[in-house]
């Protein structure tokens, strides 16, 4: 199987698993951690390209699980996290990972946040090493072994 197909299949599997848990994913902590994860993946290379920002924003608004929350609220939180990462990536990353880590005591939410990171990272067919490394860091923040997601 080609790498592109494997990435695409993995992202689709993750999205299917997320959709099955949609009714369990309605807390503010999940909302915040998900937007922090989306911002982290969007800014993975240390820069925030306007095209990437629009692509991730479109994925956020079209994701069925995230439709549990008002789109303008998700956009505002996503933009806030991106702003922190843009101002100082290393310092911003610490704060973003702390936000992600707040769902660690809720295993369903923690797994879902990691899955969202994988879905966002793989959406363009190139879940690159930098994105994978940041999703791995998020795994540690929520207490999940990255190997569970083949990271």
Instruction: Write down the pLDDT at residue 4.
Output: 41
Instruction: Write down the pLDDT at residue 104.
Output: 97
Looking at the chain, the whole-number percentage of residues with pLDDT higher than 70 is 85
Give the domains, in start order, of the chain with CATH numbers.
3-16+28-149 (1.10.3680)
**Cβ atoms of residues 115 and 14 within 8 Å:** yes
Residue 54 pLDDT > 70, yes or no?
yes
Q: Count Cα atoms within 13 angstroms, Cβ side, for 73.
A: 9
What's the CA gap between 112 and 150, in Å, rounded? Answer: 15
Report CA dihedral (104, 109, 113, 119) to the nearest 10 degrees: 150
pLDDT in tens, 16-37: 666 667 777 899 999 999 999 9
Mean pLDDT of 11-20: 65
Mean pLDDT of 79-94: 95
Q: How far apart are the first and last CA of the chain?
A: 18
Instruction: Write down the pLDDT at residue 6.
Output: 54
Confidence of residue 14 (pLDDT cuts 50, 70, 90): low
**Cβ atoms of residues 105 and 7 within 8 Å:** no
Instruction: Write down the pLDDT at residue 59.
Output: 84
Q: Which residue has the higher pLDDT, 149 or 101?
A: 101
Q: Which residue has the higher pLDDT, 81 or 21?
A: 81
Enumerate long-range contacts of 65-68, CB under 8 Å, 24 or more apart: 65/18, 65/19, 65/21, 65/22, 65/25, 65/112, 65/116, 66/31, 66/34, 66/116, 68/22, 68/25, 68/26, 68/31
Highest mean pLDDT pick, 23-32, 41-50, 62-71, 83-92: 83-92
């Amino acid at each position: 199987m080609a790498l592109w197909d494997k990435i695409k299949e993995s992202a689709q599997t993750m999205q299917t698993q997320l959709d099955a848990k949609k009714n369990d994913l309605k807390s503010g902590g999940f909302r915040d951690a998900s937007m922090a994860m989306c911002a982290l993946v969007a800014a993975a290379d240390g820069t925030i390209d306007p095209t990437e920002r629009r692509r991730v924003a479109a994925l956020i608004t079209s994701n069925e699980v995230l439709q549990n929350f008002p789109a303008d609220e998700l956009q505002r939180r996503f933009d806030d996290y991106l702003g922190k990462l843009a101002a100082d990536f290393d310092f911003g990353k610490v704060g973003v990972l702390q936000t992600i880590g707040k769902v660690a005591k809720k295993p369903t939410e923690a797994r879902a946040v990691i899955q969202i990171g994988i879905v966002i990272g793989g959406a363009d067919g190139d879940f690159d090493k930098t994105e994978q490394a940041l999703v791995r860091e998020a795994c540690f923040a929520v207490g999940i072994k990255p190997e569970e997601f083949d990271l």
